């Protein structure tokens, strides 16, 4: 029965939700505690490092969730450009459904935690790197060289993050969608440049 959750999971879940909507400092422990139904003592039992430890854990958990979504989309799609477009439409839809509130859970925490919060910063770094790796692998399968695939994957993740932010500012899906289309075009060109080269060699 997955309905019954322990306090730790409940806390994390609410933390992810609220941090991405209101930022780190904008979200009070009291809110997280009350919404998750956990008493204060429980919180400090599971997260002796306090709010910052919770944030780091929330970032990691959220990153894994998104990585899972990326993997699923890649697995389902036959082409890299298909995966790119599929992912953006999914993200845009989901973001719109949240009322254009739920930003990237990594960014929201990263940007307003004190820059000396090394645990959080490290968690964010790893999150981004894992996503880049996934996309790079996908692009490589489409025929790109490893180095090119890596560069494009990094740029793609950057574009996504940026588009997510612009979509929030505009309260509209359009930047995410538009970036998906533009990038998939560029990607197609890159693949075409790279792959048919082998063909001409023949």
Partner DNA sequence: ACGTGCGGGACTACCCGTTCCT
Partner DNA sequence: AGGAACGGGTAGTCCCGCACGT
Please, is 88 exposed, middle or buried when counting C-beta atoms within 10 Å of its C-beta (0-12, 13-18, 19+)? buried
- Concatenate the DSSP letters of all residues of 124-168 into one string: HHHHHHHHHHHHHHHHHHTT--HHHHHHHHHHHHHHHHHHHHHHH
- Quick one: which of 5, 13, 21, 29 contacts DNA (CB under 7 A)? 29
Residue 7 in the binding site for DNA (CB under 7 A): yes
Q: Which of a second copy, DNA, none lies near 166, with the C-beta cut-off 5 to 8 A by kind?
A: a second copy
In Å, how far are 83, 122, 127, 143, 148 from 198, measured between CA atoms?
24, 41, 35, 10, 16
The contact set with a second copy (CB under 8 A) reads: 21-26, 99-101, 103, 106-108, 110-115, 121, 124-125, 127-128, 151-152, 154-155, 157-163, 165-166, 168-171, 175, 178-179, 181-183, 186, 189-190, 193
In whole angstroms, the minimum distance from the beta carbon of 6 to a second copy comes to 20
Handedness of CA 176, 178, 179, 184 (dihedral sign): positive
Fill in the per-residue mask, 43 to 72: x = in contact with DNA (CB under 7 A), - = not in contact.
-xxx---xxx--------------------
Residue 112 in the binding site for DNA (CB under 7 A): no
Q: Among the candidate windows 20-28, 77-85, 177-185, 189-197, which touches DNA by CB under 7 A? A: 20-28
Q: Which of a second copy, DNA, none lies near 119, with the C-beta cut-off 5 to 8 A by kind?
A: none
In whole angstroms, the minimum distance from the beta carbon of 25 to a second copy comes to 3
CA 141 to chain CA mean position, Å = 22
On whether the CB atoms of residues 127 and 121 are closer than 8 A, the answer is no
Question: What's the start-to-end Cα distance of the chain, in Å?
Answer: 59
* Two structure tokens written together for 97: 């459904």
Q: Which of a second copy, DNA, none lies near 7, with the C-beta cut-off 5 to 8 A by kind?
A: DNA
Total residues contacting DNA by CB under 7 A comes to 20
Spatial separation of the C-alpha atoms in residues 139 and 160, rounded to whole Å: 16
CB-nearer residue toward a second copy: 25 or 141: 25
Contacts to DNA by CB under 7 A: 6-8, 25, 27-31, 38-42, 44-46, 50-52
């Amino acid at each position: 029965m997955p309905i019954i959750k322990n306090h730790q999971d409940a806390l994390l879940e609410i933390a992810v939700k609220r941090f991405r909507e209101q930022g780190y400092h904008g979200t009070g422990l009291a809110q997280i505690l009350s919404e998750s139904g956990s008493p204060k003592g429980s919180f400090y039992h599971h997260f002796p490092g306090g709010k910052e430890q919770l944030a780091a854990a929330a970032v990691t958990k959220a990153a894994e969730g998104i990585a899972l979504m990326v993997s699923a989309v890649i697995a389902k799609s036959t082409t890299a450009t298909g995966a790119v477009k599929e992912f953006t439409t999914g993200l845009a839809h989901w973001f719109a459904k949240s009322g254009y509130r739920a930003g990237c859970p990594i960014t929201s925490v990263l940007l307003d935690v004190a820059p000396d919060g090394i645990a959080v910063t490290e968690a964010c770094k790893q999150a981004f790197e894992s996503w880049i790796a996934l996309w790079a692998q996908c692009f490589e399968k489409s025929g790109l060289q490893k180095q090119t695939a890596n560069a494009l994957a990094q740029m793609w993740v950057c574009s996504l993050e940026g588009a997510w932010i612009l979509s929030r500012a505009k309260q509209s899906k359009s930047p995410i969608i538009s970036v998906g289309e533009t990038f998939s075009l560029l990607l197609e060109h890159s693949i075409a440049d790279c792959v048919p080269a082998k063909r001409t060699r023949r």
